[in-house]
Amino acid sequence: MNTKMLFCISVLTVVACLSACSRKDPLEEYGEYAPPDAYLEGSKHPYYGSENPWDRRFFTKALNLYGRRGQRQMLDIIEGKPAEAAAYCRQLLANDPTDLESRFNLAVAEAHLGNIDAAMSAVRDAVERGLPFERFIVGPRDVLKPLTESEAFKKYAASRPPVQLLHGPMLGSVTETSARFWVRTKDEVPVQAVVTKLQDPRNPIRSEVRKTEAARDYTAIVEVQGLSAATTYSYDIIIDGKPALSAPLPSFRTFPKADARISFQVAFGGCAGYTPANERMWDLIRSYKPEAFLTLGDNVYIDLPTMPNGLHYYTYYQRQSRPEFRRLVSTTPIYAIWDDHDCAIDDVWMGPYKDKPPWKMPLFNQFRENWANPSYGDPEWPGCWFNFSIGPVEFFMLECRFYRTNPYDKNPTMLGPVQKAWLKEKVRQSQATFKVLASSVEWTFDAKGAARDTWAGFRDERNEIFNFLAENRINGVILLSSDRHRSEAWRIDRPNGYSLYEFESARLTNEHVHELVPGALFGYNALQSFGLLTFDFTGPNPTVNYQIISINNESVHSLTVRLSDLSH
């Protein structure tokens, strides 16, 4: 594309957005942006790209956000600039001595500079101030080698209690009769889960034994089968023949049967930039004891569309090492999809191919290493879409980035043909009372001004899906979404069917906030929040209630929808 054309598209789009929004986010400049290899021969539109500049602005212009500062330090170390990283760490520590990420990265930078004494001083300071020692073991291992292979570090590590379990356990893929457990370990070791009924601990049920693999970043997933529905179990993880968890052991509850006439809750949300002051959100969600937690993308913020390197791993490890997060995921089944910031870069479309750009599949494989979902798309066309059920509710988790095509080109698709066909068939076959369609971006056309990043950029495809629901008289559909840094509810009226209700939650831990927009039934952006769904099947007319719960545990807004409201 020629520069003049790109400039015109960008300016026109920005002007349109400014006319629709009262305040423009300085990190967003809507247009068509992509590197040279995204332009295939004969095409004036890049097959992959972004609505925002394809650059590294998040590591230079977003340093007011805590998580970005640590990433900037780590990126400098990875790219051979440890002196700059060390100087930046010391600058931040002079203003805030409690900044543990700067102490962590200072230790790594000093080791790269050959200053092992200074590095070890930073290690000890970080651990004494509360940074989990496991952070120095988990890595990124190649980046931390100058530190961890030093004799001084080995001596310090030997003086501490031995540790093998670095991350997890994380619950996932729970059903009426089974559960999966994800872990990351220090070494390649055999792992097994042992599950017992709280009411009858005499007959433990054991998973198969699997070995964590370096090729999968020292992770493994084991599955326990033969469980009873709607039953509470406690469990331990056996690592290399030794119990890894301490009392009291974590517990979880298997899902109810499809015909259960009960009430239960499911929590959801997205946009969880690493922010120590807001990591308490995970304990708050756990306190509600939801049947499951759906994390709808931007689960971490990376924004580096390259082959996975130390920055990608470092960003995952920050969150996975937090005790609050570990407490939540050890007791609550987690179901995850990704969005732009954790799959590539802001407002990205990744194109229709599964094997290009070359970093696309490796980044997806890294995502898979860090979650325990039931499945990952189609065997021939992988992605983070899948479905699962909790009692009379079926959830359809959608992949909104991997096969998304350029919204500035003709006939764009967000889902791609394989996923869209899967969604239609599965929804049509579903016997669930409520069918929840979870998107990582908002369904309503009015959420993001003139931007094409939400379903507003894929209007024909959204209308096709909605028309399919009407033509097949599919009742009980609820829409979930994330992406804009606020929580809100929308009613989407249709000419040929009942109104659809969309519940959005997208500021779990983020410091950054998006302003409220007109047209929503209600919205909230004053503080971080999560969405809480209560499904009630105890009466003749089943209901779903949506609440916005602030990080201070305040129920800010609430809306109840009846099944009769969602019927043709």
Each residue's pLDDT expressed in tens, for the chain with a length of 568 residues: 443 333 333 333 333 333 333 334 555 567 899 999 999 998 999 999 999 999 999 999 999 999 999 999 999 999 999 999 999 999 999 999 999 999 999 999 999 999 999 999 999 999 999 999 999 999 999 999 999 999 999 999 999 999 999 999 999 999 999 999 999 999 999 999 999 998 788 899 999 999 999 999 999 999 999 999 999 999 999 999 999 999 999 999 999 999 999 999 999 999 999 999 999 999 999 999 999 999 999 999 999 999 999 999 999 999 999 999 999 999 999 999 999 999 999 999 999 999 999 999 999 999 999 999 999 999 999 999 999 999 999 999 999 999 999 999 999 999 999 999 999 999 999 999 999 999 999 999 999 999 999 999 999 999 999 999 999 999 999 999 999 999 999 999 999 999 999 999 999 999 999 999 999 999 999 999 999 999 999 999 999 999 999 999 999 999 999 999 999 9
Q: What's the CA gap between 78 and 72, in Å, rounded?
A: 10
Phi and psi at 60, nearest 5°, equal -130, -40
Question: 165-252 adopts what CATH topology?
Answer: Immunoglobulin-like (2.60.40)
Report cis status (omega within 30 of 0) of the bond before 323: no
Give the pLDDT of residue 199.
78
Residue 473 is which amino acid?
R
Task: Give the bridge partners for 29, in sequence order.
Answer: none
Q: Could you read off the pLDDT of 518-555 as tens digits, one per residue?
A: 999 999 999 999 999 999 999 999 999 999 999 999 99
Q: Percent of the chain, pLDDT > 70?
A: 95
Q: What's the CA gap between 428 and 164, in Å, rounded?
A: 46
The pTM is what?
A: 0.94
DSSP character at residue 233: E
Q: What's the CA gap between 340 and 568, in Å, rounded?
A: 35
Question: 66-158 adopts what CATH topology?
Answer: 1.25.40
Q: Could you read off the pLDDT of 204-253 as tens digits, one per residue?
A: 999 999 999 999 999 999 999 999 999 999 999 999 999 999 999 999 99
Give the pLDDT of residue 367.
98
Give the pLDDT of residue 336.
98
Helical (H) or strand (E) element with 185 = strand 179-185
DSSP character at residue 40: -
Give residue limits of the domains in the chain. Answer: 66-158, 165-252, 255-537+548-566
Question: 255-537+548-566 adopts what CATH topology?
Answer: Purple Acid Phosphatase; chain A, domain 2 (3.60.21)
